[in-house]
Amino acid sequence: MRAIHALGHAVVLAGSMTWEILWALILGFALSAIVQALVRRETVVRLLGDDRPRTLAIAAALGAASSSCSYAAVALARSLFRKGASFTAAMAFEIASTNLVIELGIILALLLGWQFTLAEFIGGPLMIIFIAVAFRLFLRQRLVEEARRQADRGLAGSMEGHAAMDMSIVGEGMFGQRLRSAEGFTAVSHIFVMEWAAVLRDIVIGLALAGAIGAWVPDRFWRHFFLAGHPLASKLWGPIVGPLVSVVSFVCSIGNVPLAGVLWNGGISFGGVISFIFADLIILPILVIYRKYYGTKMALFIAATFYAAMVAAGYAIEVLFGLLHLIPHERAAKVVEAGVTWNYTTFLNLGFLVLAGVLVVRFLRSGGRQMFKMMGGGPDDMSGHGAVPSS
């Protein structure tokens, strides 16, 4: 009976967190689908041909608008690199497309507080800057060329078919006209559903893991692990260990936000939370994919520089937000919710579920089922995919 009760507690926690963030997920993916429907992939490649600061800023902005799960973001970055984007710009795009997206910011605000959203959107560009500096100092052209030859082999990783799909609207007219067209409605519905399909696994795993840890792991364990009783040591330790916890958790993309809430309640430092969230791009399965995409040397280089940049960004956020007195004094992430009530969250969830339902129906009525079969294909299987049919 005790085991059943513990399992039930974990399920309730996971369910309550799901209900808390549902409308934000739908809103974020809908906005992302609109942006992706309007911007051609060729336009992105053309703008990312070097590693100048202006180019990296454009890469970050385009990545933030092109929300992706971590696996699809990594695959898309390789696709951009193969088509002519600079390696540094492709990595900046990859980081932004998982860590600077609107749905992540909304969910952070809902579960942890607006300070974490602000920290994420300041820390993300800082991490890109740190990586750009590290690449400029230590990345040799010979290693880039080796990585390009390996990338051109086209070895499949994960979510390759999804990353290769370009479902933007083809045609004349202003953005608003194209978006209101039948083709625009169809493109948005296809991108929306495919983005959900890409991240659903990570979201489910993340919520389940957060619910299990929140229910089964006592707070005293985390307080000891994160040195919560020693303020200075905790601030120094958090950004170092945060990414390592993420690496072994196997949770990436938005799915690691609920677990971040558990860790924050458990005593990890503010900067440690930010470093943990950034580490979705160096979890063990993705490190294996880097090796397949770019070779062992470049995979190790990415892992080392990304980790160092995550730690540095965590320290920078800890210091900056400490000086501005923006670090929350209470650890009150919404890991526990009383239940479903008739509040604004319920009304928002119901409204956005209707929107999701409309988009799913359009997807199914316009050839969407066939796209699922191609979603996990090889990197070149869908490279020529253009606008989807309007009906």
Are 224 and 74 in contact, with CB atoms under 8 Å apart? no
What sign results for the dihedral spanned by CA atoms 89, 90, 92, 93? Answer: positive
Q: What is the mean pLDDT of the chain?
A: 82
Amino acid at 71: Y
pTM, entire model = 0.78
Which region among 22-26, 285-289, 308-312, 355-359 has the lowest average model confidence (pLDDT)? 22-26
Query: In percent, how much of the chain has pLDDT > 90?
Result: 37
Of 40 and 357, more confident? 357
* Alpha-carbon radius of gyration of the chain: 21
pLDDT at 276: 94
Of 80 and 217, more confident? 80
Are 94 and 281 in contact, with CB atoms under 8 Å apart? yes
Which region among 143-152, 164-173, 180-189 has the lowest average model confidence (pLDDT)? 164-173
Under the banding of pLDDT at 50, 70 and 90, the label for residue 330 is: confident
Q: Is the pLDDT of residue 334 over 60?
A: yes
First-to-last CA distance in the chain? 53
pLDDT at 172: 59
Residue pLDDT, tens place only, 220-273: 888 899 998 899 999 999 999 999 988 877 666 677 888 888 899 889 999 999
Amino acid at 202: D
